Chain A
Amino acid sequence: MRQGLLLWLVALAIALLLPLVAGKSPYLMKVLIIMIIFIIYTHAWNLLAYSGQASLGHAAFFGIGGYASALLASKFGVSPFLTIFIGAAFAAIAGVFVGIICVRLREWFLAMVTFGFSIIVGTIFLNQFTSIFGGVDGMPAKRFFSATLEHRYMYEYYFMLLIAIATTLLIYFIMRSRLGFAFAAIRENELEAKVLGVNTTKYKLIAFLISTYLAGLAGALQTHSFAYITPEIYSVHNSFWPVIYAIAGGLATLEGPIIGTVAITLIWEGLKNLGLSFGRFVIIGLLLVAMVIFRPRGLASILDRWR
């Protein structure tokens, strides 16, 4: 345990010091900021998987959070620092709605419904209410920090990092609480959990609520960081990335989303600099298959002997 804590502190120190090295390059800072947003997003997906529910359509909640926050900020002039938390609540409302559909479903049925839901939501945002959502062109979103501010990437980085740390702590406490035990029990064997008196419906819905709130928060963070949002946000890639990150890092573990997101982002950006475009998707796909076959517990399992 002590060594585990040490690893966490080392990771935290690196995260805090990184901008001192990377701060000069806007490209690197942008990569780091997106990486942190996706750590939060992957945490969100992973928490749902922790309760045995693997969604293939989390982009829906990522996008709803982003749109809601952008709209609140521009229509009512509220600061984006506030709207990200309100916007995420809209994602959570949608999440509970989908959760109610999904409570009786497992595995691929659930995967199908969530995937389908993201397609439906994407269609609505692309084709309906174009006067509000801006159709295919999307709409601009307020930045967290003015584009002319000197060290804005650095401020943005530390702000995202703060939320990522808070999210990680939240997930840590959830995993160690009664809630977390209920999630794990449902994941391992839903019927047994039910027999033992766990209200599985309630806990599955709670998992959906928290997971989709955090996904919406991550979507809102990305939206205000990019300063625009389009229906592209509902693309299947945004649904699949957290799955890939979580599996690479270690499914249903606390450190998995962090390790996976960092590792895959490094590989991804490295391959990009080698000039690969489609090739890097092929490599990520091969990695994913190889991980599931040879290291089903992810990269985090390498650290096991340290604990």
Chain B
Amino acid sequence: MLDASIAMQVLFWGIYAGCIYMLLATGLTLIFGVMKVVNFAHGEFLMLGSYITFWIVSLLGINPYVAILPSMILLGLLGIAVERLAFRPILGTGKLNEIFVSLGLIYILQNGVAFLWGDDFRSMHSPYAAKTIPLGSINLPLDYVILVFFTAVILLALHLFLKKTSLGRAMRATSQNRKAAMLMGVNVERIDMLCFGLGVALAAAAGSLWAISGQLFNPYSGSLPAIKAFAIIILGGLGSIPGAIVGGLIYGIAENAGGYLFGNYWKDAISFLILIAVLVVKPHGIFGEGEE
């Protein structure tokens, strides 16, 4: 039977996984809002984030949590390059082309990493790996708590950036109405680029935190989280950041509860069952409005 401490444990695991989904989904929805592009290869940036942080830590020997920011910046630059080279040329040529280009990117990034660094599972060691924080009847690993904290800080910083800076305002304007933003003097192509870089940096943060908290990673570990993040932004409404955050949290908890109740190998299948069920009832997501 489900007793309180197990329920707590499942809930906390859900929040922990939900944080990763939140960061991924927020980046994805940010890119979608501004560019109306869906990047199926978003999870590959999460995977790259794990690897870059891993290498920064192994080469420089610094605290992994310090390595997150440089990792985000490096991948943000890579994201800008990918936007310029792969997505800009096909912008406005049809939604199918975007799916196909991101499919190509998945192949390039996954196997590029496997080519360079092999496809074995790797892991990182956090200096706080053995520490736990007691909370009621359960012990929370310190790294998980830090992960939740970092996620909150990053999302808060993003919120402030979007609300308080002129660049953030330009991003929101482009997201709301691209043409009007252009007429008001916003350089929308530059906004596209920055936005893509920012979204990728968020994925890198997710990948770094995921790896630091002790999860194994290999070149293929980004695909499923990305597809789930995509499901989340459908549930939360395409382009809506609050939707992505709430959706990510609900998704993480639902997935872990489902995995606990039906067996862990059902985790992925359950999340898609939820998605399909929602799409059948509401084809444009729970918070989304009909568009096209």
Contacts and interface: CB of A to CB of B under 8 A. Distances in A.
Contacts of B98: 108
Contacts of A285: 104-109, 111
Given A109-B234, A240-B103, A116 B111 contact: no
Interface in A148-204: none
B119 interface: yes
Interface in B223-278: 223, 227, 230-231, 234, 263, 265-266, 268-269, 272-273, 275-276
B283 interface: yes
B51 to A, nearest CB: 14
B57 interface: no
Interface string B85-102: 010011001011111110
Chain A interface size, under 10 / 10 to 19 / 20 to 34 / 35 or more:
35 or more
Contact of B105 (A126, A289, A296): A289
B104 A289 contact: yes
Most B C-beta atoms less than 10 A away, residue of A56, A127, A282, A289: A289
Contact of A109 (B97, B109, B272, B279): B279
Interface stretch (A86-94, A98-106, A255-263): A98-106
A119 interface: yes
Contacts of B114: 278, 281
A293 B94 CA distance: 12
Would you call the interface of chain A mostly helix, strand, loop, or mixed?
helix
Nearest to B118: A278
A281 B116 CA distance: 13
Interface of A: 49, 54, 56, 101, 104-109, 111-113, 115-117, 119-120, 123-124, 126-127, 236, 240, 243-244, 247, 251, 278-279, 281-282, 284-289, 292-293, 296
**What are the 3 tightest A-B residue pairs by CB atom distance, in nearest-first order?**
A285-B107, A116-B272, A288-B104
21 contacts: A54-B96, A101-B276, A101-B279, A104-B283, A105-B283, A109-B279, A109-B283, A112-B227, A116-B227, A116-B276, A117-B276, A120-B269, A244-B103, A278-B114, A278-B115, A284-B107, A285-B106, A285-B109, A289-B108, A292-B90, A292-B100
